[in-house]
Amino acid sequence: MERLHGRHALITGASRGIGAAIAERVAAEGADVVITARTVDHHDHLAGSLTETLARCRRHGTTVTAVAADLADPASRARIVPEALAALGGRIDILVNNAAAAIYASVLDYPPSRAHLMFEVNVHAPLELAQAVVPGMLEQGEGWIVNVSSATARPAPGPPFRTSGVTTKIGVYGATKAALNRVSNALAVELHSRGVRVNTVEPRAAVLSEGADALVGGTLRDDQIESMEAMVEATLALCDCPPDRTGGVHVSLDLLDELGITVMSLDGRSAHPSGQRGA
């Protein structure tokens, strides 16, 4: 416990799902945290809010502050790092870019406005937030940037191609995540040997957050789902990794197996019932 004591973290997309769970675990590990998302009190269709995440995180006794912002709006997202720095005493050690827009539809008639929205949220926003925190991290001599990606970034194998389920609907979303992987790697290359680690992490299987459940819930077998705790544990490992672990595109359960890490509960106090793999 408290492996992040004294560190300051900024986590996006923290009103629900993976972002909210990461925020809780980071707070449980002793970090002061700024969380950001659009939903302050309630969402019209999905459970979860910044207010609820604040309550969960504050139970662990660290300083937790919320910044309401819309990552699709360049002016709105430009406020996030300055406000986070003000709340965290002028220092950000950890940035987790978790927020994402996931709009599934055929590439053949994908609306340009939706494609632009997804690239704003999934690529431009993480890059701009990283650019904003890097100068401080370089001055401190260390920092950790973790970008949450997706297996949809990889091209579909074939032919023949699988066309069942959402396979034909995830092309544009996957393209944004492929761009995020490449940008993350480029940041890592430029920052190598300067103390700032940059990695992406993606679930091996589906993590049924509120948003994912709304998109694909009920269509997956048990072996196609991994626990929220496993995804959070893998992300946490990259929030505290050594300098030579940078530039990677990591898969959650593979990383846990490689490092021999036991998946813990979100409060960090006990092992998750499904053990090391957390599936």
Cα distance between residue 58 and residue 74, in whole Å? 29
Residue 218 inside a domain? The answer is: yes
Q: What is the block-wise mean pLDDT of the chain (279 residues), using blocks of 10 residues?
A: 93 96 98 95 75 97 97 98 98 98 96 98 98 98 98 95 90 98 98 98 80 48 76 97 98 97 94 63
Q: Which residue has the tokens 């704003």?
A: 120
Residue 225 inside a domain? The answer is: yes
Residue 76 inside a domain? The answer is: yes
Question: What's the number of domains the chain is made of?
Answer: 1
Residue 63 inside a domain? The answer is: yes
Residue 230 inside a domain? The answer is: yes
> Are the C-beta atoms of 152 and 202 separated by less than 8 Å?
no
The range of the structural domain enclosing residue 195 comes to 8-101+123-150+179-259
| Kind and range of the H or E run holding 222 | none
C-alpha Rg value of the chain to the nearest Å: 18
Q: What is the model's pLDDT at position 44?
A: 57
Cα distance between residue 132 and residue 112, in whole Å? 28
Enumerate the H helices of 109-249 as residue ranges: 112-119, 125-140, 171-191, 210-216, 228-238
Q: Provide the whole-model pTM.
A: 0.93
Residue 80 inside a domain? The answer is: yes
Residue 185 inside a domain? The answer is: yes
Q: What is the model's pLDDT at position 1?
A: 66
Q: What is the model's pLDDT at position 278?
A: 45
> Are the C-beta atoms of 263 and 271 separated by less than 8 Å?
yes
CATH of the domain at 83: 3.40.50.720
Spot the catalytic one: 173, 232, 250, 278: 173
Could you tell me how many residues make up the chain?
A: 279
Cα distance between residue 67 and residue 43, in whole Å? 16
Cα distance between residue 125 and residue 149, in whole Å? 14
Q: What is the model's pLDDT at position 39?
A: 79
Residue 110 inside a domain? The answer is: no
In the annotation, is 173 catalytic? yes
Residue 7: other Cβ atoms inside 10 A:
23
Residues 6+ apart with CB under 8 A from 115: 172
